[in-house]
Structure 1
């Protein structure tokens, strides 16, 4: 079997996560995080749709990680993202991390908005 190292261009993969943090491209970021082609940044959660909407011309799909369990996102956020032409996939944050890495390795136009796990969810 031949193994090839995955190349991510300028985007950074999710290396790991734990209670209250994500490790992205080797850097630990506390709290919620936004991964877009323009870079990695802290995210203020569902009440901060502007950075997500601004990425609309750079991504086709936005993965939203809702913590340890899948939960509904606010309807207003979903409608705003869909109106901007952004596909929305809601899943647990661990699933969103894995899916993001796979799609990133495939060269897809992908973004992720991830809420961290709490101490009680690990």
Structure 2
């Protein structure tokens, strides 16, 4: 799906599909963290099963009010123990499938919110 943001002064997701996400003119084919502040960080997880506490610790280090977790092709919630670093810093986390996470991130970033999105990019079986 192609997305057209109304405001271009923040890093926006320009499109997405199974196994990829577009950021501007770049096509990213690996899991990634994006922030409205312009950060783009490789997120070293190819599947939900590879996730662990360190992945969420990395999210807690971002300067964000809220983190959106795009859990892949379907919604899967992180284990509560993984969320401790976020809770200790007062950072909210919303979980949704990756497609919904892309749309929600764009809306919040365009509103000027300090938001980050962690996208787990998977291919269908």
TM-score (norm: length of structure 1): 0.82
Separation in 2, partners of 1:119, 1:29: 16
Query: Alpha-carbon deviation of 1:89?
Result: 0.3
Aligned-pair RMSD on alpha carbons? 1.7
Q: Following TM superposition, by how much is the alpha carbon of 1:20 offset from its aligned partner in structure 2, in angstroms?
A: 1.8
SS in 2 for 1:119: coil
Q: How many residue pairs get matched?
A: 113
Aligned to 1:103: 108
Indicate yes or no: 2:19 matched with 1:14. Answer: no
Q: Distance in 2 between matches of 1:54 and 1:74?
A: 18
Higher mean C-alpha deviation, range 87-96 or range 110-119: 110-119
In structure 1, the partner of 2:25 is 26
Instruction: Give the 3-state SS of the residue equivalent to 1:97 in structure 2.
Output: helix
Length-normalised TM-score, structure 2:
0.80
Deviations 1:32-82 (A, max 9, x none): 010122411211143323431211xx2100000001111111222222211
> Is the CA contact 1:18–1:117 (under 8 Å) kept in the aligned structure 2?
no
Where structure 2 has 5 or more consecutive residues not aligned to the other structure, the ranges are: 46-50
Q: If you compute each CA radius of gyration, which structure gives the higher value, 1 or 2?
A: 1
